[in-house]
Structures are given as structure tokens and as C-alpha cells.
Chain A
Amino acid sequence: MPLIEVHEITKIYRLGDIELKALHEVSLTIEKGEFVAIMGPSGSGKSTFMNVLGCLDRPTSGQYFLEGIDVGGLDRDDLAGIRNKKIGFVFQGFNLLPRTSAIENVELPMLYNGLPAKERTLHAQKALKSVGLEGRGDHQPNQLSGGQQQRVAIARALVNDAPIILADEPTGNLDSKTSAEIMELLTRLNRESDITVILVTHENDIAAYSKRTIRFLDGSIVSDEKMNPLPSPSRQGRGDERVPSPLEGEG
């Protein structure tokens, strides 16, 4: 059973009389332990697709099976439960709660599955340690650097042992050195903990960390290629060597 199975998903936004087709019959399968980069120009539907994968949005038509469960049949609170247990989100803007210490930010997902306070703190400390922020638990987001904030966000995504991390341009607000550190962290989590990482990016060198790159254009997948990422953990080379898809540019 694949971890994620998407079948002919279409998403249409209505703005008054205008219909906007953000996704057009997208079908896709992602197995457990994959590291997938989703690329495409803005407006290509990649963010909408991520929202659907993250159970934040529902497709207009089509089916989405997450661990074999048909997500389309679930209500608002069931979807919240799935986001809580199955999916960890990492955002471009970090999205930590302001004026709230790092450890409390990491504890947040556990607040919504009823774990007692003691266990919450314990798990949160463990998660902070695994992203290399041991001892920074008391710092508030504005006392941390961008890279550190993104690590807190990753710790928050990890803390409920979710099998999937969805990262929406996780390095978009970071410099290249910090970006590399964050990507190495995600790569390590993917390799060591078998967490499925799906990330949206428009930078080739970020996509190069992945084992599979999916390109979107005008709401459809135009290429889906698997590759063996370079074995070296530090990779400064650009991903330009990839052959552009023959379908690219098709309107």
C-alpha cells in the first residue's frame, strides 16, 4: 500500500464568474520513505497540490488516499486529527507562535492530542535535540536566527512522530549556507528515521537533495523523474544537469 495515492485530482477556484483551474486531473503515488521535490513556476498549482496533500484543502474532484484512507470522506475535525498525527508542516515563513518559547512551540501539536504536560516537555526536548537546538528551548522566536527558527519548526513537525513532512519552500527565507544546513537536516531525517519528505521549491540546488523531482505547470504534472542524489552530504552544485522535460512549455 502506497503512503500517498492521488487519483485524478482537480481543484477549481471560483472568483465571481471566473473559474480558475488550479489542478487538472493530477494522479500520483508516493511511497513511504521517499524524498520528493515539487517544482514549478508560481501559479503552476504546486502550492494547491501541497495544501491538498496536507489535508488543509479539499480537491473539487478526484480521490486522495493517505495510508489507504480515503481522505475525501472525512470531516473538518477528522482532517485536523490527520494533520496532527500524520503530517508535519514546515513553512517558508517558519510560522512559529510569537512570544512563545521554542519548547512551547514544539509542544503545540501534542497539546491537541491530549498528551499530559510532563510527556509533552519530554518529547519536545527530544525533538529539539534531534534538530540540534538542545538548550535553546527557552528562547523565543525573535531571539533565534532564521535557521534556528526553521529548526524549531522542523522539531514541531517531528514531535508527533508524523510519517510525512510537508515543507513549503522551507529555505525561501534563508541564506544559502543556512539553507544547506536545513536541507541536510531534512535529508538526515529522511534517511535515518524513514520520514517521507515532500518539499516545494523553485531552486534547483534545493531540489537536488531529493530523490525524485516532480514538475508542475498550469495545474498538471509535466515531469516526474527519480534519480539517485549525489552521495555527498554537502552539495553545492546546481541541478541544471537534469534534462528538461519535453512537455515543458506546453500551455
Chain B
Amino acid sequence: MINISSTIKISLRALRVNKMRSALTMLGIVIGVGAVIAMLAVGTGASRRISEQISKMGSNLIMILPGATTAGGVRMGSGTQPTLTFADAEAILKESPAVSDVAPVLNGVAQVVYGHQNWSTGVIGTTPGMLNVRDWPLVSGRSFTQQDVKSATKVCLVGQTVIENLFGDMDPIGQVIRIKKIPFTVIGVLALKGQTPQGQDQDDTIYVPVTTAQKKLFGTTFPGMVRTIMVKAKSGEDLASAERQINELLRQRHRIGPKQDNDFTVRNLTQFMQAQEQSTKVMTLLLGAIASVSLLVGGIGIMNIMLVSVTERTREIGIRMAIGAKTWDIRLQFIIEALILSLIGGIAGIIAGISSSLIISALAGWSTIVSPVSVLVAFGFSGFVGMFFGFYPAYKASLLDPIEALRYE
């Protein structure tokens, strides 16, 4: 059996003799591997952004909306019939094991005044659980407490857009703002959240205790009414069971008979986002597949050059055969040569791919993520390409007739 390290040495020498040719052959692989890595980096970056948006919105999120009214056979759409209460929210938290936190929502739009500034914004009456449900931390101050909710105190948490419009650079903590002319003390500042995937500014908001909203700001059609309830499941796997538990619990609480329709709707927001994430992943694979076509073309380039090389070195092959090289000695020599071409090309391609994805994120502002797996796969694939396209020329070389080969000029 042939000595591998000596064969590598022989191959390297053969490749050095034709430096330009070897470099150009490698270039095909460099472009192929580089394109695969860069395309996968763009795709991975895009799907990472979507999952970030999911986690910004609050992960494992379920929305409960009130049901639709039917007036004379005309169905009015979901949310027209207020059926949900603060007590429903508390019951869900207490009785559904798959639920980690709950936030009832009673919201409205209100004019907010501070000093000479005024601003119209969305005011949300809720519970302290909201910050957990939406994974939304405070940057300063404190959240309101269950005690604040119980006694309907006039305190509020403000979002970044509101601060910008009312306070400018001033520290808003402890300041008193008027919402619908009622004074509220600012006790906490919400962290910057950014836009929803639909472009809505999530930072243009004020949180107040739900009871305060019910009694002082928006009023209720019946005691304890809330518009929606947001629920956070314990984990992604718990989403389905949380949904089922909420359905059962609310049907029971709302005394809905077995044949009656629900007077509420349970919606799983995360599922929608996950579908979007899935489609991005498909796009990533598609981009990678297109890029790998260029890797294939690079492989054909290797085969082409190896065939030329076998013809050029017919005499050398004849000498080696006369001296005692066996079939696989000759084959290995050429396969290793093709492998070296493709692996060096692969390494250069990894460098090219990483640097071009850095350039893409710098110029186009897209987030790109080079995953170690994509690097490994691209490198492994380039090795496979070298082996695959190197085999035929090597096979051809090994079948030469030694006498003919020795006579070849």
C-alpha cells in the first residue's frame, strides 16, 4: 500500500509546477464554498431576526379575545361582545398548570399632558404580570404591584416614545403626568422595544394598573371587564395544553353548554411567527442550494484539470507503473491531488464566505450569521466534490497500459 504522506508530497509538487492552473481551479471551489457560506449566513441572519421579534413580542404568547355579538343575525366580529373579566385572568393563572403568567388588558387612547407638552398615546390597564408576559424589562424605577392593582393607585409606567415626546432628556421618574386630566405619578420606565413586524411602534404606550383604568380612565360595561387577556405559557411545548386548559376553564366559568359556541377566542401568536420563521428557513435552504450549484461547477473544473493533468503526465504514470505502482497507488495519487485542490479551495472559500458576509452586513445592513455548522458542511462538501470529481480522472489514469504510457511523448 502506498505511503500517504509521500503521496501528498508528490501531489503538492505536481500542483506547484502549474501554480496558475492550480490557483484558477481552486478559485471555482473558493467561489462555491464562499457563496454557500455567505448565502446561509444571510438566511440564518434573517431567521434569527424573526425569532428575535418573536421574543420581543413575548415568547409562548396566547391572546384571549372576547366573543362576537350577533345582532339580528348579523355577526359583529370578535371583540364586540365584552365577556372577559379581570377575575377570568386571575382564574387562568391559578388553575392552568401550563400557564406561567397572565396579563389582562383594558386599553384605550388618551391625551397625556406634562407641563406644556401633550401627546396622544395608547394607555393600557394591566397587572404587573404584563412585563413578564411580554418579556419587557424596565430600565429605571419600579413596576406597580398587586397592591397598586388592588387599591387602584394612580401610578404609571411609560414607554420610550412617550418619554421622548413629553420629557425630552429629563428623568421622568417621580414626575406627575395627566392622563385624561387625572394626575398619575411615573414610577417606572419601559425599555426600548422597537416595532412590531407590522411596523407598529410598541414604545408609544403607557401602562397603568388595570383597576385604575377600569375605574378612572375608560369605564366598564360590567364590573371587572377587560378587553383582552394575554397569557404566557410555561414553554413552547406547553402552548397547546395551555390553550386547551384555557378553553375548558373559560367555558366552565362562562357557563357555556356543550353545544354552544365559545363567547371568546383563544389565539396563539407564536404559531404565526413560527410559521414565518419556517418560511425563512426554507428560503435559506433554497439560497444555499443555489449557491451549491457553483460548488458543483467548481468540481467539474477540478475534473477537467485533472483529466488534462493525467494526459500530460501519461509518461510519468507509465514510469510509476513499470516500477511497481499498483492500480490504487495511481488512483490515490490523483484523488489526493484533487482533494488537496478542493480542500485548499474550501479553506480559502470559508475565509471568502465569512468576509463577504461581514461585507454584506456592513453595506446592506442585513444581519448575517455564519454558523459553524454551515462552515463544516461547506468544507465537507468541498472535500466530497474533490473526491467525486477526482475519481474519474484517477480511474482513467490507473487503467493506462504501462507500455503505451511509457512510449507517450
Contacts and interface: CB of A to CB of B under 8 A. Distances in A.
Given A99-B17, A112-B329, A83 B316 contact: no
B402 A56 contact: yes
B170 interface: no
Q: How large is the interface on A (under 10, 10 to 19, 20 to 34, 35 or more residues)?
A: 20 to 34
Contacts of A234: none
A97 B326 contact: no
A95 B324 contact: no
Contacts of B321: 80, 83
A123 interface: no
Interface in B320-356: 320-327, 329
A156 interface: yes
Interface in B1-54: 1-3, 5-6, 13, 17
B3 A117 contact: yes
B3 A56 contact: no
Contacts of B406: 56, 91, 95
Contacts of B320: 108, 112
B323 A156 contact: yes
A112 B319 contact: no
B326 A111 contact: no
Given A51-B403, A95-B319, A84 B324 contact: yes
Contacts of A156: 323
A53 to B, nearest CB: 13
A89 B322 CA distance: 7
Contacts of A84: 323-324
Contacts of B325: 80, 112
A97 B402 contact: no
A113 B325 CA distance: 9
B322 A83 contact: yes
Contacts of B3: 111, 114, 116-117
Which of A85, A97, A100, A112 has the most C-beta atoms of chain B within 10 angstroms of its own C-beta? A112
A226 to B, nearest CB: 29
A70 interface: no
A163 interface: no
B56 interface: no
Contacts of B324: 80-81, 83-85, 109, 112-113, 160
Contacts of B323: 83-84, 89, 108-109, 112, 156
Interface string B363-399: 0000000000000000000000000000000000000
Which of B5, B6, B315, B318 has the most C-beta atoms of chain A within 10 angstroms of its own C-beta? B6
A112 B319 CA distance: 12
B395 to A, nearest CB: 14
Contacts of A81: 324, 326
Contacts of A99: 13, 17
Interface in A91-107: 91, 95-100
A230 B5 CA distance: 49
A54 interface: yes
Interface in A110-127: 111-114, 116-117
A100 B322 CA distance: 17
B323 to A, nearest CB: 5
A77 interface: yes
Contact of A77 (B6, B13, B319, B327): B327
Contacts of B329: 80, 112
Nearest to A153: B319
A49 to B, nearest CB: 13
Nearest to B7: A111
Contacts of A51: 403
A80 B326 contact: yes
A83 to B, nearest CB: 5
A98 B18 CA distance: 14
Contacts of A114: 1-3
A114 B112 CA distance: 88
Nearest to A100: B13
Contacts of B327: 76-77, 80
Contact of A97 (B2, B5, B6, B316): B316
A57 interface: yes
Contacts of B1: 114
B322 A56 contact: yes
B326 A95 contact: no
Contacts of B318: 95
A156 B2 CA distance: 17
A19 B318 CA distance: 26
A112 B3 CA distance: 8
Contacts of A109: 323-324
A83 B403 CA distance: 13
A112 B2 contact: yes
B315 A95 contact: yes
A171 to B, nearest CB: 18
B316 A111 contact: no
Nearest to B315: A95
Contacts of A95: 315, 318-319, 322, 406
Contacts of A108: 319-320, 323
Given A56-B322, A108-B320, A112-B323, A117 B6 contact: yes
Interface of B: 1-3, 5-6, 13, 17, 315-316, 318-327, 329, 402-403, 406
22 contacts: A54-B322, A56-B403, A76-B326, A76-B327, A77-B326, A80-B326, A80-B327, A83-B321, A91-B406, A95-B322, A97-B316, A98-B316, A99-B13, A111-B3, A111-B6, A112-B2, A112-B329, A114-B2, A116-B3, A117-B3, A117-B6, A160-B324
Given A95-B322, A97-B319, A108-B323, 17 more contacts: A51-B403, A54-B322, A56-B322, A56-B406, A76-B326, A77-B327, A80-B321, A80-B327, A84-B323, A89-B322, A95-B319, A100-B13, A112-B320, A112-B323, A112-B324, A114-B1, A117-B5
Per CB-CB distance, the 9 closest pairs between chain A and chain B, nearest first, are A84-B324, A112-B324, A77-B326, A80-B326, A109-B323, A83-B324, A95-B319, A56-B402, A112-B325
